[in-house]
Chains A and B, each alone.
Chain A
Amino acid sequence: MSSEDTSGENTAINTKDAPAKASLIYDPKVRSWFYQFLLLGGVVWFFGSVWGNLTANMARQNIRTGFGFLDNTSSFEIGFKLIEYDRSSTFGDALLVGFLNTMLVSVIGIIIATIFGFSIGIARLSSNWIVARLATVYIEVLRNIPLLLQMVFWYFGVLAVMPSVKQSIQLPLYTVFNNRGMVTPAPQFSENFVMVWIALAVAVIIAVFVSKWAKKRQDDTGVRPPATLINIGVIVGIPALVWLAIGATLTFSIPVLRGFNYQGGIHIPPEFIALLWALILYTAAFIAEIVRAGILAVPTGQGEAAKSLGLNEKTRLKEVIIPQAMRVIVPPLTSQYLNLTKNSSLAVAIGYPDLVSVFMGTTLNQTGQAVEVVAITMTIYLALSLGTSAFMNWFNARIALTER
């Protein structure tokens, strides 16, 4: 019906504007095609000439091409690694080591920065004047100083002047701290301890189902079963029972000073500590501001309405304020997570072997294959951030659905 109408209108206009047909340059469609064609030509020309220059320059400088170098022996050592790696490993292995190091520092950083940032954001809204002022000062100072400067400050200014190994600072739980980093006791699991991990995973799955059941039960009957208590019991109890049943053992290797360094335990290098610490402090300041804005974005009437319904402080926060604030908090929070991941590339300045440092630094210097190395590194970061934004869009759509 309506399509018929518009087509009729179109023909009418076309017949009326007969002269316009004569000069195509006034037709928006033709113009649009023309511009896009021009753009396409420009893009093709640009990449064509870049490609031409690139191949010519690389041929002249005898730079090899292709991704074959990934299988070559790297013959350099990496100081901090999560997987087996030595001089005889390939550049591909080095890439993986760097990537895992980046992920390690990012994941730990994100978890701690979130906890820290939420606390500071809430503290800034505290009714306690001193607490609120302290949080404000923290945010304004940390947010306005470049991250790289903070990082080199912690690394060269603080950790480098820590006491030497002999005069290590003794922390609780057999942890020691010196200018070579931190040594903590290392948990050592017996062979069959894997069963305990499996039990823990099963317990978590059960807990998810219990929560779902509890929610449904509350919706149906109005009575909320003690789901939290049951879940704590399940998550602690099942693995503990399995542990006792199969007789798995958990021992700790405690660091002992022998000769010039500590033996045993987990050695955390100062680069890792400085990078993580700087990333956490910096990102927490931004997360705090996001949290504050999110909580302030919930209209005061919501809290008052919840109060007048007779909800207590805890329920009010949990069921009314936080769900609404989260809707405002989550999108910028995700982009802060992404920022933290990207900022971890500053590790190159203090020598923590992350993706950029290992691959764009050492590998690039050794192979000279700039184009491939830069392309691989950028693609990895791009994939991470596009993946995160895809997740964010999905999550946004999900919380938007629960509205109303």
Chain B
Amino acid sequence: MSQKVLLNATEINIALNRLACQLIENHDDFSNTVLVGIQPRGIFLAERLKSLLENEYSIKNIKLGYLDITFFRDDFRRSNKPLEANKTKIDFIVEDKNVVFIDDVLYTGRSIRAALTAIQSFGRPLEIELLTLIDRRFSRHLPIQPDYRGRQVDAFVGEKVKVCWMENDNEDAVYLVKSEE
């Protein structure tokens, strides 16, 4: 296994600030907007953006939920290890709200497809947008594109983009991991 740094802590911080500003441009004071972090890895990014918006840009009362998509995935029983669920926590109304999905890496688009189905269990949103830190270009299986992206990355199929967060991995960094056969 060899890995290459795609983004370091400073670059991640710059990207996060830009993403926060782009969200403000479109959502003003967030009074009709909710953020939804996609489990398991999207919630760190979502938490970061929420605290950035609240602390640096003085936007209060941002609603943030976690959405688990395990039961909505299309690869149930196709993978060898069973899919493990995570906690869903959406304690607000989604009906007629602007929903922003937040995930760390956009790759095939299948997770987002599942999330689009899963969120309907909580009501009919006015509009759904997608924010990802990393957008892996040319690798989509479905017609899904991000509305906000931190960085576009080109990677081969066998490679993995790994996003590390201070809260979970003791550092902020994005790596391109090459698996050696």
- Tell me if chain B binds chain A: no
Which A residues are within 8 Å of any B CB, using their own CB? none
